[in-house]
A and B are shown apart, each in its own frame.
Chain A
Amino acid sequence: MADTTVGIPTVSVTVNGVLRRGTPEPRKTLADFLRDDCELTGTHLGCEHGVCGACTIFMDGEAVRSCLVFAVQAEGADITTIEGLSAPDGTLSVVQKAMNEAHGLQCGFCTPGFVVSITALLRDNPDPSDEEIRQGLSGNLCRCTGYQGIIKAVKIAAGQSVDANGKAH
């Protein structure tokens, strides 16, 4: 086994606007660094091998899975987690409000990842079609909702009018 105590590089990342420094073991993922070292437990870990998307965060402006990045790889990165998406006083973001309104969650475990992915999707494509929403969220799994409420939430957040069945008009 490799010696894990010698020459561990220091990591400096900006998380939700705050500079965080640490010396995580190289095999520690960014997700575990955020949860254990930064005590930001809003980022959830489901599958831990790059399928479910619950751990999705913003890294240098793009939605990425924090379970598939070692913390040491994030040196110098600008990171926003789910905790950084609501206002400092706790006011929910447009996407979070829409998820609430549209019942876009049940157990809530996958929700932080979905909120990040939806926020990224709507930033790049403010008025997505159904197909674009489904493609844009294809890296996130939800086992409760059947996705209908989530898709409706995207439409509400995008300012599209929707009926009770989530169909846009």
Chain B
Amino acid sequence: MIPAAFDYKRASSAAEAISLIGEYGEDAKFLAGGHSLLPLMKLRLAQPTVLVDIGKLTDLSYIRDAGDHIAVGALTRHRDVETSDLLKQHAPLLAHTAGEVGDPQVRHRGTIGGSIAHADPASDLPATTLALGATYVLQGPNGTREIAAADFYQGFLTSAMAADELLTEIKVPKMDGAGWSFQKFNRRAQDWAIVGVAAWRRNGDSGVALVNMGNTPILATSVTTALSGGASIAEAAEQAVAEAEPQADLNASIEYRTHLAKVLVRRALEAASS
């Protein structure tokens, strides 16, 4: 399996990477860990003409306490998110979920920013950061801007990020002792979730997001609205698919996905409430 040929540019700074991507236009792509992009290129589902390698931008790999949130550099690898004491303390849902991504080899190379920028609705970290109310920091030729995860995902593998913008940081609000759960239903350890649910709950507050239940990661606002209106967990879980648009594939029919989502939301909320 050999990808189509491409030109390779190794960036030595974020600014240089953004300048290079601007220079080569829409057929150029950033290359971080490459664990979403390389399989697509090998299957020739993606054929970028230029790859701008940002893998050496080690100053984008960090996990810092920033007061009300934890700042995670976009090039932080899943393994480093999984094992971060800071995240285990302040955003344990994210640390745990990073440890559920793929398998050990994937977690050693894949990055949180790459996973989010790829905007795959079947990936674990887009939905998890969505449930946590994270903010993404995008750097472009004219400076940086911040966008809420809830406004970021626009369609299948499509986000609000412009072609010449680079995701540089994920701001994860501190969970402040909230109960949490990540439910991933799959048949083999390394598979994507057939359906996944990320949920947290603290006093009257809650957040729930769904993996692989539509063209984007889905924020299950009807569930959280029901909970804050006093509904029981079982009642709220019945609202699991109100915002979802599940599709059928080899693994599951629409009906099966719908059933799974309700069951997994109930389990996640029970675990987050105990």
B4 at the interface (CB under 8 A from A): yes
B43 touches A50 (CB 8 A): no
A2 touches B39 (CB 8 A): no
> Interface size bucket, B side?
20 to 34
A151 at the interface (CB under 8 A from B): no
What mask results when residues 131 to 158 of chain B are scored 1 for a CB within 8 Å of chain A, else 0?
0000000000000000000000000000
Q: With A27-B4, A138-B104, A139-B106 in contact, is A68–B10 under 8 Å at CB?
A: no
> Interface size bucket, A side?
35 or more
Q: Which residue of B lies closest to A4 (CB)?
A: B5
A63 touches B105 (CB 8 A): yes
**Chain A positions 88-120 with a Cβ under 8 Å from a chain B Cβ:** 117, 120
Chosen A-B contacts, 11 in total, with CB atoms closer than 8 Å, are A2-B50, A8-B8, A27-B5, A48-B1, A62-B108, A69-B109, A120-B104, A134-B189, A136-B104, A138-B188, A139-B102
Q: With A2-B49, A27-B4, A68-B39 in contact, is A62–B10 under 8 Å at CB?
A: no
Which one of B5, B31, B42, B49 contacts A48 once the chains associate, using CB atoms below 8 Å? B42
Q: Report which B residues bind A (CB closer than 8 A).
A: 1-8, 10, 31, 34-35, 38-39, 41-43, 49-51, 53, 55-56, 79, 102-106, 108-109, 188-190
A78 at the interface (CB under 8 A from B): no
Q: Give the shortest distance, in Å, between B37 (CB) and chain A (any CB).
A: 9
Q: Give the shortest distance, in Å, between B97 (CB) and chain A (any CB).
A: 15
A73 at the interface (CB under 8 A from B): yes
A83 at the interface (CB under 8 A from B): no
